[in-house]
């Protein structure tokens, strides 16, 4: 397969990760990188040696050799650059969250046309455990789905000694806080392993900002949430329950579960401890029987090395959309927007 000629816009922490994947993949030819910050450009040249380095996205997009771009910079600017990239005939992979709101996602879908585009919120579904769980659920192993949930709580640590990044918890820069920083991963993972069959109808949610005792842990002026809790009622009475918090006044814990009429799965979003994935099967005679679900030494299941970027390059050559397309990203964003609206109104809201 001919390598995809790629440009990476944004050479910070996550952009550097994409650059590293690009130079190590035979499916990708790194043509250029761009960043507004000189220090980031210098580091990209030293570490990854792109053929061209630019100080603006427009200059990179003018390079006719480039077929596709990765957008790895703050959310507030990405839609505008994505639209410009589509107008130049370039495929687009955007970092998460996909956009500030659903209207921006719809704009991108219209502008994409026949090009390939997706979002990196799919990142955790490239783990082997996610692939195994997806196949099991979609083959009816749990029966009719009833509850799909996650609870991920991270206790506050010691007061930081280095400046906190402003974009993480300032709405104007990022569109939100923990919900868009991590909730998009949670939603993509749970919607993805259930085959995108959940059709959200109603959302009831609440958000909270950082507790006063931990204000020193975040950047000055932070106004976005550090904790949210949401209940999403989907078609058929299926409940999607989401809870995630950081800088919490509670001990850390993580609980992921998919419950059906025939059994349930307890799992993690990563492969950090694959044997913790538990299948609760049922029989009339013996009730619920719990046992490890997946053997990590099982070579029959493979993972996609390189994750979203390599999948994106492969999708271009195979003329298909990536693991998480813009249409699927729109569902994630619709739920996200509904959570914020419900929290602001103090009432349940319908999902468009």
How remote is the C-alpha of 196 from its chain's centroid? Answer: 14
Cis check for the bond before 281: say yes or no (omega within 30 of 0): no
The dihedral built from the CA positions of residue 163, 168, 174 and 175, taken in this order, carries a sign that is negative
Domains of the chain: 4-123+306-321 (3.40.50.720), 127-302+333-350 (3.30.360.10)
To the nearest 10°, report the CA torsion of 200, 203, 206, 210: 20
What is the rounded distance in angstroms from the CA atom of residue 154 to the CA atom of residue 6?
A: 36
User: Which candidate, 79, 75, 66, places its Cα nearest to that of 34?
Assistant: 66
Q: What is the pLDDT of residue 302?
A: 42
Confidence at residue 153, expressed as pLDDT on a 0 to 100 scale:
95
207: left (phi over 0), alpha (psi -120 to 50) or beta: beta
pTM higher than the cut 0.85? yes
Question: Which phi and psi (to 5°) does residue 134 adopt?
Answer: -60, -50
In the numeric block, the tokens 């009622």 are attached to: 233
State the pLDDT at residue 168. Answer: 84
Over the chain (352 residues), the average pLDDT of each successive run of 10 is 96 95 97 97 96 97 98 93 98 95 97 97 92 94 97 94 85 86 95 97 97 93 95 98 96 94 92 74 90 66 68 97 98 97 97 86
| The pair of three-digit structure tokens given for residue 18, joined into one six-digit string | 């994409």
At residue 299, the pLDDT reads 45
């Amino acid at each position: 397969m001919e390598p995809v000629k790629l440009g990476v816009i944004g050479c910070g922490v996550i952009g550097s990760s994409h650059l590293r994947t690009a130079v190590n993949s035979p499916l990708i030819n790194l043509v250029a990188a761009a960043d507004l910050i000189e220090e980031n450009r210098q580091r990209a040249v030293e570490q990854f040696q792109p053929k061209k380095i630019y100080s603006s996205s427009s200059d990179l997009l003018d390079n006719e050799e480039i077929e596709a771009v990765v957008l790895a910079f703050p959310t507030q600017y990405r839609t505008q650059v994505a639209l410009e990239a589509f107008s130049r005939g370039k495929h687009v992979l955007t970092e998460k969250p996909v956009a500030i709101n659903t209207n921006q996602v719809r704009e991108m879908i219209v502008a994409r046309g026949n090009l390939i585009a997706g979002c990196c919120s799919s990142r955790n579904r490239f783990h082997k455990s996610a692939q195994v769980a997806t196949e099991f659920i979609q083959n009816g192993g749990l029966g009719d789905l009833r509850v799909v949930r996650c609870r991920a709580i991270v206790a506050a640590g010691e007061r930081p000694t280095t400046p906190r990044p402003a974009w993480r918890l300032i709405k104007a820069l990022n569109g939100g806080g923990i919900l868009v920083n991590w909730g998009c991963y949670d939603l993509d993972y749970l919607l993805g392993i259930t085959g995108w069959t959940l059709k959200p109808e109603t959302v009831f949610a609440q958000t909270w900002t950082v507790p006063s005792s931990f204000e020193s842990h975040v950047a000055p002026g932070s106004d976005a949430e550090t904790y949210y809790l949401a209940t999403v009622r989907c078609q058929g009475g299926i409940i999607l329950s989401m809870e995630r918090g950081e800088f919490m006044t509670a001990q850390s814990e993580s609980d992921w579960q998919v419950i059906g009429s025939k059994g349930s799965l307890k799992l993690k979003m990563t492969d950090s401890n694959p044997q913790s994935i538990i299948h609760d099967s049922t029989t009339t005679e013996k009730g619920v029987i719990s046992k490890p679900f997946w053997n990590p030494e099982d070579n029959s299941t493979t993972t996609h090395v390189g994750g979203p970027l390599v999948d994106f390059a492969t999708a271009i050559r195979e003329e298909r959309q990536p693991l998480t397309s813009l249409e699927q990203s729109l569902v994630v964003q619709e739920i996200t927007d509904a959570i914020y609206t419900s929290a602001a109104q103090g009432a349940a809201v319908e999902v468009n």
